[in-house]
Amino acid sequence: MSRSKAMGIAILSFTAVLALTGCGSSGAPNPAGAAGGSTVVVGTWGGDYQKFLKEFVGPELAQEKDAPNVVFATSDDVSRLAKLRAEKDGDVGTMDIVALNHIQMQQAVQDGTLEEIDASKISNLENVPQEMTNPYWVPQISSPSVIVYNKDKVSPAPTSYEDLWDEKYAGKIGIQAPQAQDFFHAAASLALGENASSNFMAGLPLLEKLAPHTQVFSSQEQLGAALMSGQVWMTLNWKARAYQWIETSDTPLGAAVPKEGTYSTQFVMGIPKNAPNKEAAYSYLNAMLAPQAQLDFGTNMGYLPAATNSGMSAELMERLGVAESDADLIGTLDVDDVAANYSEIVDAWEQKIVNR
């Protein structure tokens, strides 16, 4: 078995972050952080994500001064965001760190639930590109959205979001119920005639036309199985997920960057304003950005590391991201606009697309 094939098998079980369901709360401390007497509570996803936090961030945290014990508060991302809101007015919250995607984290910022990051307490933050930094969160990994397709069924290879609306693929387009933003971005980009950074609702009329020709799946695993079996021929998803499917499937799958442009989803960590142990939270964020933690986590998850000094090879960076020739097609979201309108986006997605 090839190294890349083995890697793909190892990461296949990672549930897409926006579709993760809670796996219960783990109260057992991470032994790697057992040197200190304090505790850092990390609100995050379960499964392989939590497993890799233990395996790759834990050893780096153990090297921090007064390294805290780690307790994982495991739930789905919607529940974590709801918990932040529910605990907002309390003197002391239950999480020291919360992990979300950058759109959800911006919702938390707009809710007034997050501490402003003191960059002086995270020495490894200097290795994160400025365009990825934010006053209220620290990025960990990222992945661009791409068109994922069956090479035997979709010919010629897709080059545009318009290909999803092509009549010859009617009924063969797969969508994942919890992942509204990729399809809204695609439709808005077509409607606006540019790589949409905001105004996602402009794409709703096009999505309503596409909806009758789609198959809806509740999870990444179901969508991936449908692609591999030929039930579905094309979808939108993160390149990380496409990489996993390509590496582990006998079905000839491909990933294409649309000519209209795309964007990357960041998975980030922030500190609640009422976190009980903010100093431990800073230690954890610094350990999360350590070069070895970034390399091992990104390699095993199939995502791009946030830090530039991870040591990931240029070849793997391209396989997990996009070719250098497509780099200009990766745009930046107006995350404040998307987050402010995200409830409307999700409501329209659920009512008019998923449950049409």
Cα gap 207→142, rounded to integer Å = 26
Q: How confident is the model at residue 7 (pLDDT cuts 50, 70, 90)?
A: very low
Indicate if the pLDDT at residue 271 is higher than 50: yes
Residue 272: the pLDDT is 98
Helix (H, G, I), strand (E, B), or coil: what is residue 5?
helix
Q: How confident is the model at residue 356 (pLDDT cuts 50, 70, 90)?
A: confident
276 in Cβ contact with 294 (< 8 Å): no
Mode of pairing for the β-strands spanning 330-331 and 214-217: unpaired
Cα gap 212→255, rounded to integer Å = 24
For 236-250, the pLDDT digits (tens) are: 999 999 999 999 999
Burial class of residue 314 in the structure, from the number of CB atoms within 10 Å of its CB (0-12 exposed, 13-18 middle, 19+ buried): exposed
For 138-177, the pLDDT digits (tens) are: 999 999 999 999 999 999 999 999 999 999 999 999 999 9
My answer on whether omega of the bond before 156 falls inside 30° of 0, hence cis, is yes
32 in Cβ contact with 58 (< 8 Å): yes
For 315-350, the pLDDT digits (tens) are: 999 999 999 999 999 999 999 999 999 999 999 999
Helix-, strand-, coil-residue percentages of the chain, each rounded to 5: 45, 20, 35
Longest distance between any two alpha carbons in the chain, whole Å: 62
262 in Cβ contact with 321 (< 8 Å): no
For 30-87, the pLDDT digits (tens) are: 444 444 469 999 999 998 999 999 999 999 999 988 899 999 999 999 999 999 999 9
Chain-centroid distance, C-alpha 188: 20
Cα gap 213→204, rounded to integer Å = 15
Say which DSSP state 353 is in: I
Indicate if the pLDDT at residue 185 is higher than 50: yes
355 CB contacts (<8 Å, ≥6 apart)? none
Burial class of residue 13 in the structure, from the number of CB atoms within 10 Å of its CB (0-12 exposed, 13-18 middle, 19+ buried): exposed
- List the Cα angle 71/48/29 in 5-degree steps: 15
Q: What is the pTM of this model?
A: 0.88
The helix (H) or strand (E) run that includes residue 145 is strand 138-150
Residue % of the chain over a pLDDT of 90 = 87
Phi–psi pair at 259, nearest 5 degrees? -65, -20
Nearest one of 299, 192, 201, 190 to 243, comparing CA atoms: 299
The mean pLDDT of 303-325, rounded to a whole number, is 96
Residue 334: the pLDDT is 97
Indicate if the pLDDT at residue 14 is higher than 50: no
